[in-house]
Amino acid sequence: MIPTEELKKVLNIAGESIVENADGTIRLVATECKECEQRVFPPTAVCPECMSENTKLIELSETGTLYSWSVVHAAPKNWTTPYIAGYVDMPEGVRIFAHMVGIDPAILSFDMPVSVCKVTMGQEPDGKPIESYSFSPIALGEN
């Protein structure tokens, strides 16, 4: 079993990749290279394109489009299954991998507009919720 803290670090669930607003909404944060303008999520100290350490943090848009997805039925202990593992393309040119929970896969479609949100992925052994970012479909007329 993967220790929960290690899992959080690998997924960058907490830390600089998420900004939570006072109203409970969240924004994802990426790195932008000041040399080549490459954008990367989750944030990194070194640009993978040009290896520059001259980077800055940028907040990403609230919405993106669903690129691809798969329904996952096996997961680490204490995670809620099934869930959807998907890729979302953001307007800033970043493709984000995300676990999407509480969504009927039958309603998903390629290039569907989605918005970032916070979800409970499962729970710690002590019952504390494991929270992360996710994406949910945008209803027509909502954007």
| pTM score, whole prediction | 0.80
Long-range contacts (CB closer than 8 Å, 24 or more residues apart) made by 93-102: 93/39, 94/30, 94/39, 94/40, 94/41, 94/60, 95/67, 96/28, 96/41, 96/64, 96/135, 98/133, 98/134, 98/135, 99/72, 99/132, 99/134, 100/69, 100/134, 100/135, 100/136, 101/134, 102/136
Q: Is the pLDDT of residue 1 over 50?
A: no
Tell me the residue type at 133: Y
Choice between 52 and 3, residue whose per-residue pLDDT is larger: 52
Q: Is the pLDDT of residue 10 over 70?
A: no
For the chain, how many helices (H) and strands (E)? Answer: 1, 9
Choice between 10 and 68, residue whose per-residue pLDDT is larger: 68
pLDDT at 111: 95
pLDDT tens sequence across 31-83: 999 999 999 999 999 999 999 999 999 999 999 999 999 998 888 777 777 88
pLDDT tens sequence across 73-125: 888 777 777 889 999 999 999 999 998 867 889 999 999 999 999 887 777 78
3-state secondary structure of 92: coil
pLDDT at 20: 83
Q: Give the count of beta carbons closer than 10 Å to the beta carbon of residue 75.
A: 15
